[in-house]
Amino acid sequence: MVPAAFQVITPPGRGPTLVTLREVEQILRATRASLSLNEIRRRMSARAVRHSMVRAAVNEFLRWGLAREDVSGVRWVAPRVPPLPGRSRRRGSVPDIDDLAGSLARFGPVEDWKRELDAMRGEEDE
């Protein structure tokens, strides 16, 4: 029997899956501004996501202090969530391209890349 002080009140029924939690986390982390629940839902990859699922996922982040909510919406506040031990170093693990969006910006402006690409293609011309 878990003492009452340590019990966590969980909503009835099925909650969001780990995949949903990770996706909501990625959406919030990628955006510095606050997002409404509807906006989070719109950015999710699934065509139809129930509002209650997004709310349950957000509540979990609020509970852990990873996000904050005010009248303008929900905002990710935790600087970084450490990866699971050994997971990032596991051989064969491949990052998702959505997580890599904008990851090459550190190598220079996009305009330079496109100019280089034009030059590369121009080498085909006589």
Task: Give the number of residues written for the chain.
Answer: 126
Residue 26 sits at the vertex; the CA angle it makes with 24 and 30, to the nearest 5 degrees, is 120
3-state class (DSSP) for residue 50 = coil
Residue (77 or 117) nearer to other proteins, CB: 117
Q: Write out the binding residues for other proteins, residues 5-34 only, by CB under 8 A.
A: 30
Q: Write out the binding residues for other proteins, residues 59-78 only, by CB under 8 A.
A: none
For 58, the token pair is 């957000």
Candidates 14, 47, 80, 87; binder of other proteins (CB under 8 A) is 47
Shortest Cβ 63–other proteins spacing (Å): 28
Residue (31 or 59) nearer to other proteins, CB: 31
What CA–CA distance (Å, rounded) separates 40 from 25?
Answer: 10
Residue 122 sits at the vertex; the CA angle it makes with 121 and 123, to the nearest 5 degrees, is 90
Q: Write out the binding residues for other proteins, residues 81-120 only, by CB under 8 A.
A: 94-98, 100-105, 107-110, 113-114, 116-117, 120
Shortest Cβ 33–other proteins spacing (Å): 9
Residue (19 or 117) nearer to other proteins, CB: 117
CB 19 within 8 A of CB 46: no
